[in-house]
Structure 1
Amino acid sequence: MSSDLPDDPEDVEAPAANIEHVRIEDEMEQSYIDYAMSVIAGRALPDVRDGLKPVHRRILYAMNELGVSSGSSHRKSSSIVGETMGDYHPHGDSAIYDTLVRMAQDFSLRYPLVDGQGNFGSMDGDPAAAMRYTEARMAPIAEEMLEDLEKDTVDFQPNYDDRLTEPEVLPAKLPNLLLNGSSGIAVGMSTNIPPHNLGEVVDATVHLIDNPDCTTEDLMEHIKGPDFPTGGNIVGKDPIYSAYETGRGRIRMRAEYEIQSNDSGSDQIVITELPFQENKARIVKRIAEDVNEGTIEGVSDLRDESDRDGVRIVIDLKRDANADVVENQLLEHHLESTFGVINLALVDGQPQVLSLKETLEHYVEHRKEVVRRRSEHDLAEAEDRAHILEGRLKAVDNAEAIVNLITESEDREQAQRALEGDLDLDELDVDLEYTDVQSEFDFSERQAEHILRMQIGSLTSMEAGEIEEEYEEVQERIDYLESVLESEETLLAVIKEELQELKEQYDDDRRTKILEDEGQVTHEDLIPEEDCLVVITEQDYIKRMPADAFDPQRRGGKGIIGSDPKEGDRVSKVFRANTHDYLLCFTNRGQVYRLKTYEIPEMSRTARGKSAVNIVDLDDGEEITAVVDTDEFTEDECLTMVTRQGYVKRTCADQFDNILSTGIIAAEVEEGDELVDVEVTDGTGDLVIATEQGMTIRFDETEAREMGRTARGVRGIDLEGDDRVAGMVQTTDDDQRALLTVTRRGYGKRTPLTEYRPQSRYGKGLVDIKTDERNGPVATVKAVDADDHIVVMSDGGQIMRCPVEEISTVGRNTKGVNVMEVEEGDRVASVTVIPGATIDD
């Protein structure tokens, strides 16, 4: 024992026998690398040669050792798991059983390696039954992975406790890495390889063998793309090529479905195949949630009619639903997913990202090694057999002498020595007539041992004929095996022949279709471009209706029902927009939100609408009071805003480019005030502000200078008493339009804008219309042309469309004419203009 060791174990002050100084960062780095490589090579990544991780390989090898083949009866899964864990894979039974289950699931593996009996889970995410309740055996195709294992075709290594040996890799008669794919997360890397069709992979492998210089495009003539066990579709060929060429890519998967008509005449969408690895029950649940929340509109019923024969999810649509729109919503949220290809596998124990060609090349090299070692093994056995047969033939030719020699020998050892020619026959009491054959007794040790074990009946002439026939066959076998070992061309021919045989036995039809990528179809593409009317109530219910659903009427009519607000609610705003327009929605509190018109749900005239909080993030008490169509302005223009208390400000339109989903501040509105109207201006015109008590003021818009979004603005009009601003329009000196003024009681008039002379900002203005008891206060003002139409809507939901030319043109300070007959207790809420250019004659 070294003198450096302490004599007393309790003496903690004694020096250590050997101290090595190591930087802690170096030790941590090396330890982490060792751990990472252990996980990478020992658990998470498949071997490029057989496409299996250690746990898969050990399960199959354990089943092979147990004799649980495809022709045997099923064995309890717990027995297989126990054998695997006890002898080869000491990492816990749950991990082994989970792997065994997945190898038996026909919706997880394209070609299942295990034939399971019992509950092995489902596409709904249901777990498999406990291992004590299920049974399993190898699938026939798994036996192809193990074939020739006993012929020294692969190297073996000690198991975890050195009691047994296990194969480092399986002979893998099939290119399993591509057939069944693989997925796994290692340390710092992951793999995700899609499954493929056996027939296509075999054809591509044969093509590669025949054409070693082929390209990815050449291989894709045979392998069209991944072939998932659940079928479905792949959208686009370019992502497939990218994945095959570089080893990485993103493949868009799409469910298989069709639009049908049901017995009631309405449409239904029937889903029959789902993207790979999607949970069917979860998809159905999420579709139902989106329907209930209004994200998907037009669905009347949803049913999962799937059974053992396959997937069938039925989505019934409402009669007035646009099937294309619902289809696109389903594709966007539920029926399409992405498969991220990472073709990472172990090559000589090192992780590598491989192209399709490299993957096949490594497989072919593995099979060349397997076939070579198998041929060497078979050749050795054939030569050994030929050697024995040669001895038997010689023994038949000298049968009498050999029998006499054996019978005259003292013991078996002496007889063997005599047969091998190591014993002088004079030492034996043998008739001289047989001594002349001594020179023939030069059998090898193996031959001599075999002759001594032969029965007398084996020395007949008939037996000799059979031996000669077998010897010729063995010689032919030897010649063939030697040719395989001597010629790589012959060896490759063997590989091709075996692959073709496997194709004939296991090939099936492709399940996944490859679709042309016609571009991403957006929701907007499926919405017809048309003018519509958007109605908003004070309690923030919102909807849209086609503008052409309302026929023009003569002025003075009552109109028809355009909305049915609930009790205590009333209409606050109606405006015209195109379904494809982007809208800026300004609220009374000075916030602005952005949305597409088609995002507003389309509903019938009598519908109440949908809560706006589902579309824009409105706070309590916040309501939309002004809407601007972004298609009507450019970035060098301004948005000019006016509040109820007469504050005016202009803000450059480019400050509204990036609007959050929660909105942004458009104007600072003081308590007790509210934003009432917004106009698009370019700095060259005038603003006309109208009040509820019938006053108007016109002034140069540049008198209200440009300000930031958070500014309050400047005074635009001097309001008297409790008067408030009703609206605002923008005009120019040569503007031939008229100012349309409509009061709460449904009266209105047109007055040429040229009659409103410009003044300085913050004046009292001029009288526009009389707001007596008959007219009531002003509801709003609009700038109109003679060929325009207006849509007037009341608080109670009555709506009337009227040609502007029906309304008289009169001067300022007049009462106007009856535009809409408003019932007692009702009043005009809002007016919008349909330009003459958009009206279909």
Structure 2
Amino acid sequence: MSSDIPQPGSNAAANVDSVRIEDEMEQSYIDYAMSVIAGRALPDVRDGLKPVHRRILYAMHEEGVTSGSGHRKSSSVVGDTMGDYHPHGDSAIYDALARLAQDFSMRAPLVDGQGNFGSVDGDPPAAMRYTEARMSSIAEKLLSDIEKDTVDFTPNYDDRLEEPDVLPSAFPNLLVNGSSGIAVGMSTNVPPHNLGEVIDATIHLIENPDCTVEDLMEHVKGPDFPTGAEIVGREAIHSAYTTGRGRVRMRASYEIEEMGNRERIVITELPYQQNKAKLVEHIAELVNDGTLDGVSDLRDESDRDGIRIVVELKRGALTDVVENQLLEHCLEKTFGVINLALVDGEPQVLDLKELISHYLKHRREVVRRRSQHDLDEAEERAHILSGRLTALENADDVVELIREADDRDGAKSALREVYEFSERQADHIVRMQLGSLTALEAEEIETEYENVESEIDRLETILASDAELDRVITDELRAVQDEYADDRRTRIVEDYGTVTHEDLIPDEEVVVVMTENDYIKRMPAGQFDPQGRGGKGIIGTKLKDGDRVSAVFRANTHDYLLTFTNQGYVYRLKVYEVPEMGRTARGKSAINLVDLDDGEAITAVVATDDLTDEECLTMVTRDGYVKRTCASEFENIHSGGLIATRLEDGDELVDVAVTDDDGDLLIGTQRGMAIRFPKEEAREMGRSARGVNGVDLQGDDAVAGVVTATDDADLLTVTENGYGKRTPMSEYSTQSRYGKGLKDIKTNERNGRVTAIESATADDDLVAMSDTGQIMRTPVGDISTVGRNTMGVTIMALEDGDGIACIDVLET
């Protein structure tokens, strides 16, 4: 039986402490959390390094892998670091080493790498056995004077060696290179900055201790990312520097290049930490799913000289729109600034002044300790030189005294007794060579002694004067700045707010054409000059065999439209998303704009921009049902549309008019009848209601349209064979709804049935479009005013077999 097992009757239980498990777990978790916070994840405010980075640099320093030496295998550096200072996995150490060498991650790389250390495409570094590394020259500035007792050392993990608690840091590395890390319950994300700006701000704080953060921001304009690009707006920068937290919006840099009759957008700089390969992939996805329209080609032409992503545009594409879509979806990122660092071992969120102040406090301590160390060595050297000078002045006697001594100890004792030398001076003189007694040697010693005395005076002045100590720090910072500072890479641009697609679209009147096969396009209304009535018009669209025009309506490019269909549904359409094409173009499929079912066609369009909650949308069906629905019920329309009205079997929605407190309702029929009645007789109903009877249709008659009737306008009636007339609204007397109405226009063989009715004035223009795609714009004033129950005049000359498909009125 093992002797380690407690035997019955032993007092082993007396050595066992009883603790509550929740107390033990709480303490253990706290110990773990503090270990992660202080020992892994957060940088020290003084040198801006986490332990793993500090240990890598110190291991390279100890092994002599400096900027002046040859490169060393990365695996060797990782092994030295892991074996002597950082007892963790080699992959974690190598990842940290690789990041120190990445010029797209570090504003001032601390490792000079040779080989593949990763890329902006997200490619990982090559295996550590293939890459080589050494310290960069600026990294040596972090370790300069470390051997002069400038920082404290602690035993390494196995007590064999000592490692520094912090590096001396000749420049504010935390601000220059930034840092990121996730600890327990907290994280840090300090952006990189421009070395020259940071040093200017540090010197300004030295000279003006009472300055504000805003004063320092006169020097530190904002983060300066190694990848360049742009920062949009200054508000987030101000928040980050005054509170320690802020969300900085970064934007890629790009330029527009001409390529014949087309243009291309060339992206030349990426936001910090944006993956280039994923960006290109994302742009391609946006093009494929239709979100990004107008792109004909996408190429990544980047090389060692820089980033170049080419987005070629289609002929006729709006560059401003594509540019804005790229910005909205993929060319902007947010950098969440969290200036969290360890201050005396405790994590603190710091503003800009506090970050620099803590560095300055550390740097003053380093220079003070270095000066004391140098002073001690200088005084020791002066003491020795003083003894040598005395020996030189009495060279013959000193030589004779030494020759007469029995041994070295006797000689030292004699020298101390005769010349009052110290033990160190006597020992040094006894060990001197005879060659050092020459006149030239004596002169050199005298010169050195004077220089050492001068150095002692300088060091004593530094230690005795804070101003002199700060002057030394300033001079050393200027020296680093002169050697390593470069121009700012990241530009700061003003934030003029979110630019929407509408802001980039020219504000113009357009004509939108849609066919039964769901082709859609828009054309500037200015392309269609007014013609005298009776003309043939011009080509307005090219149709496929069997297709015909189903709708034409005027709109503004900035309009959001409610499009009502014959099946009683309503969809929301953004006019600027309708592709702009020439008169002879067929158009593009409307499936991504208005998802219509087979047999579903747009029969009415209403602009939403001018709608108010007091207005109603009045809907009329082919079979004569009418209803009014409050405009507010159409505010939230999803991509699949909404039910606008309930229809009986076989019925269709024909027309929609906007009505308010003014005027009556007037319904026109295909057989040329018209009925005018007070709108109150068609009470307000919900979207799912059918409505009430509006007109008593006779025989095969059907409703053609509905308008608001006011006596200051005319009723414009157009028939399918291209004829029409204009009649004052006052000629249509008001009666009760669901009557037969009055005769509006004769619908004989010449005229054909009524296609549509509109409310118009003599100052308006009529746009009429035929089934085959001919379009004509004519002044309403050219259409003579006639009474009811007349034949009308020729509006548009049609080819055999063609007919008026639809009309709309343009307000001029």
TM-score if structure 2 supplies the norm length?
0.92
Of 320-329 and 541-550, more deviation after overlay is shown by 320-329
| Counterpart in the other structure of 2:625 | 647
- Looking at structure 1, the residues matched to 539 and 735 of structure 2 have their Cα atoms a distance apart, in angstroms, of 42
- Looking at structure 1, the residues matched to 640 and 153 of structure 2 have their Cα atoms a distance apart, in angstroms, of 64
Residue 70 of structure 1: how far off its partner (Å)? 0.6
Of 231-240 and 348-357, more deviation after overlay is shown by 231-240
Question: Are 2:308 and 1:332 equivalent residues in the alignment?
Answer: no
SS of the residue aligned with 1:346?
strand
| Counterpart in the other structure of 1:50 | 47
| Counterpart in the other structure of 2:283 | 287
Write the letter of the residue equivalent to 2:772.
G
Of 272-281 and 409-418, more deviation after overlay is shown by 409-418
- Looking at structure 1, the residues matched to 616 and 250 of structure 2 have their Cα atoms a distance apart, in angstroms, of 45
Write the letter of the residue equivalent to 1:162.
D
* 1:24-173 equivalences in 2 (<5 Å): 24=22, 29-173=26-170
Residue 721 of structure 1: how far off its partner (Å)? 5.5
| Counterpart in the other structure of 2:723 | 747
| Counterpart in the other structure of 2:585 | 607
- Measured at CA, do residues 213 and 305 of structure 1 come closer, stay the same or move farther in structure 2, by a change above 3 Å? same
SS of the residue aligned with 2:215?
helix
Question: Are 2:533 and 1:555 equivalent residues in the alignment?
Answer: yes
Residue 653 of structure 1: how far off its partner (Å)? 2.1
- Residue identity (%): 70
| Counterpart in the other structure of 2:375 | 379
- Measured at CA, do residues 606 and 296 of structure 1 come closer, stay the same or move farther in structure 2, by a change above 3 Å? farther
SS of the residue aligned with 1:95?
helix
Q: Could you report, residue by residue, the CA deviation over 1:457-489 in whole angstroms, capped at 9, with x for unpaired residues?
A: 334454333323222222222221121111111
- Looking at structure 1, the residues matched to 597 and 27 of structure 2 have their Cα atoms a distance apart, in angstroms, of 56
Write the letter of the residue equivalent to 2:617.
L
Residue 194 of structure 1: how far off its partner (Å)? 2.1
Residue in structure 2 matching 1:783, options 759, 770, 783: 759
Contact 1:684 1:701 in 2 (8 A): no
Write the letter of the residue equivalent to 1:348.
D
- Looking at structure 2, the residues matched to 461 and 205 of structure 1 have their Cα atoms a distance apart, in angstroms, of 50
* 1:206-225 equivalences in 2 (<5 Å): 206-225=203-222
- Measured at CA, do residues 189 and 696 of structure 1 come closer, stay the same or move farther in structure 2, by a change above 3 Å? farther
- Looking at structure 1, the residues matched to 79 and 802 of structure 2 have their Cα atoms a distance apart, in angstroms, of 82
* 1:255-270 equivalences in 2 (<5 Å): 255-262=252-259, 264-270=260-266
- Looking at structure 2, the residues matched to 416 and 226 of structure 1 have their Cα atoms a distance apart, in angstroms, of 65
- Looking at structure 2, the residues matched to 290 and 459 of structure 1 have their Cα atoms a distance apart, in angstroms, of 86
SS of the residue aligned with 1:563?
coil
Contact 1:538 1:570 in 2 (8 A): yes
Equivalent residue pairs, number: 809
Residue 388 of structure 1: how far off its partner (Å)? 2.4
SS of the residue aligned with 1:613?
coil
Of 105-114 and 461-470, more deviation after overlay is shown by 461-470
Residue 54 of structure 1: how far off its partner (Å)? 1.8
| Counterpart in the other structure of 1:434 | none
Write the letter of the residue equivalent to 1:765.
G
Contact 2:676 2:709 in 1 (8 A): no
- Measured at CA, do residues 776 and 42 of structure 1 come closer, stay the same or move farther in structure 2, by a change above 3 Å? farther
Consecutive unaligned residues in structure 2, runs of 5 or more: none
Residue 560 of structure 1: how far off its partner (Å)? 2.3
Write the letter of the residue equivalent to 1:637.
E
- Looking at structure 1, the residues matched to 529 and 8 of structure 2 have their Cα atoms a distance apart, in angstroms, of 109
Write the letter of the residue equivalent to 1:376.
Q
Residue 182 of structure 1: how far off its partner (Å)? 1.9
Of 365-374 and 519-528, more deviation after overlay is shown by 519-528
- Measured at CA, do residues 119 and 826 of structure 1 come closer, stay the same or move farther in structure 2, by a change above 3 Å? farther
- Looking at structure 1, the residues matched to 791 and 77 of structure 2 have their Cα atoms a distance apart, in angstroms, of 96
Question: Are 2:384 and 1:388 equivalent residues in the alignment?
Answer: yes
Residue 37 of structure 1: how far off its partner (Å)? 3.1
Contact 2:102 2:118 in 1 (8 A): yes
| Counterpart in the other structure of 1:477 | 455
Residue 404 of structure 1: how far off its partner (Å)? 5.1
Of 654-663 and 577-586, more deviation after overlay is shown by 654-663
RMSD over aligned Cα, in angstroms? 3.0
Contact 1:575 1:627 in 2 (8 A): yes
Contact 1:199 1:503 in 2 (8 A): yes
Of 55-64 and 534-543, more deviation after overlay is shown by 534-543
- Measured at CA, do residues 367 and 409 of structure 1 come closer, stay the same or move farther in structure 2, by a change above 3 Å? same
Write the letter of the residue equivalent to 1:739.
L
Of 581-590 and 379-388, more deviation after overlay is shown by 581-590
Write the letter of the residue equivalent to 1:541.
Y
- Looking at structure 2, the residues matched to 217 and 719 of structure 1 have their Cα atoms a distance apart, in angstroms, of 78
- Measured at CA, do residues 208 and 621 of structure 1 come closer, stay the same or move farther in structure 2, by a change above 3 Å? farther
Q: Could you report, residue by residue, the CA deviation over 1:687-734 in whole angstroms, capped at 9, with x for unpaired residues?
A: 1223334443322111121223333332323445654433211113xx
| Counterpart in the other structure of 2:441 | 463
- Measured at CA, do residues 27 and 610 of structure 1 come closer, stay the same or move farther in structure 2, by a change above 3 Å? farther
Of 541-550 and 825-834, more deviation after overlay is shown by 825-834
Write the letter of the residue equivalent to 1:166.
E
- Looking at structure 2, the residues matched to 380 and 575 of structure 1 have their Cα atoms a distance apart, in angstroms, of 93
- Measured at CA, do residues 97 and 23 of structure 1 come closer, stay the same or move farther in structure 2, by a change above 3 Å? closer
SS of the residue aligned with 2:675?
strand
SS of the residue aligned with 1:584?
strand
* 1:648-687 equivalences in 2 (<5 Å): 648-669=626-647, 672-687=650-665
- Measured at CA, do residues 19 and 793 of structure 1 come closer, stay the same or move farther in structure 2, by a change above 3 Å? farther
SS of the residue aligned with 1:149?
coil
Residue in structure 1 matching 2:20, options 16, 19, 22: 22
- Measured at CA, do residues 369 and 701 of structure 1 come closer, stay the same or move farther in structure 2, by a change above 3 Å? same
- Looking at structure 1, the residues matched to 51 and 594 of structure 2 have their Cα atoms a distance apart, in angstroms, of 53
Residue 618 of structure 1: how far off its partner (Å)? 5.2
Residue in structure 1 matching 2:570, options 578, 582, 592: 592
- Looking at structure 2, the residues matched to 536 and 624 of structure 1 have their Cα atoms a distance apart, in angstroms, of 8
Q: Could you report, residue by residue, the CA deviation over 1:197-247 in whole angstroms, capped at 9, with x for unpaired residues?
A: 212211111111000111223222222222222222333334322322222
Write the letter of the residue equivalent to 2:20.
V
Residue 68 of structure 1: how far off its partner (Å)? 1.1
Q: Could you report, residue by residue, the CA deviation over 1:318-348 in whole angstroms, capped at 9, with x for unpaired residues?
A: 5534443443333333433333322222212
| Counterpart in the other structure of 1:272 | 268
| Counterpart in the other structure of 2:193 | 196
- Looking at structure 1, the residues matched to 622 and 82 of structure 2 have their Cα atoms a distance apart, in angstroms, of 79
Question: Are 2:231 and 1:234 equivalent residues in the alignment?
Answer: yes
Question: Are 2:320 and 1:344 equivalent residues in the alignment?
Answer: no
Write the letter of the residue equivalent to 1:793.
M
Contact 1:588 1:624 in 2 (8 A): yes
Residue 576 of structure 1: how far off its partner (Å)? 0.8
Contact 2:48 2:174 in 1 (8 A): yes
- Measured at CA, do residues 538 and 474 of structure 1 come closer, stay the same or move farther in structure 2, by a change above 3 Å? same
Residue 299 of structure 1: how far off its partner (Å)? 4.0
- Looking at structure 2, the residues matched to 749 and 473 of structure 1 have their Cα atoms a distance apart, in angstroms, of 113
- Looking at structure 1, the residues matched to 415 and 601 of structure 2 have their Cα atoms a distance apart, in angstroms, of 114
Residue 619 of structure 1: how far off its partner (Å)? 5.9
Question: Are 2:248 and 1:251 equivalent residues in the alignment?
Answer: yes
Contact 1:687 1:700 in 2 (8 A): yes
- Looking at structure 2, the residues matched to 297 and 677 of structure 1 have their Cα atoms a distance apart, in angstroms, of 32
Contact 1:683 1:702 in 2 (8 A): no
SS of the residue aligned with 1:498?
helix
Q: Could you report, residue by residue, the CA deviation over 1:78-114 in whole angstroms, capped at 9, with x for unpaired residues?
A: 2222222232233323322222222222222221111
| Counterpart in the other structure of 2:7 | 7
Contact 1:5 1:17 in 2 (8 A): no
SS of the residue aligned with 2:591?
helix
Residue in structure 2 matching 1:540, options 518, 521, 526: 518
| Counterpart in the other structure of 1:187 | 184
Question: Are 2:445 and 1:449 equivalent residues in the alignment?
Answer: no
| Counterpart in the other structure of 1:431 | none
TM-score if structure 1 supplies the norm length?
0.89
Write the letter of the residue equivalent to 2:344.
D
- Measured at CA, do residues 5 and 318 of structure 1 come closer, stay the same or move farther in structure 2, by a change above 3 Å? closer
Residue 631 of structure 1: how far off its partner (Å)? 3.5
Write the letter of the residue equivalent to 1:515.
V
Residue 172 of structure 1: how far off its partner (Å)? 0.8
- Measured at CA, do residues 28 and 641 of structure 1 come closer, stay the same or move farther in structure 2, by a change above 3 Å? farther
Residue in structure 2 matching 1:820, options 782, 796, 801: 796
Contact 2:621 2:653 in 1 (8 A): yes
- Measured at CA, do residues 563 and 360 of structure 1 come closer, stay the same or move farther in structure 2, by a change above 3 Å? same
Write the letter of the residue equivalent to 2:537.
G
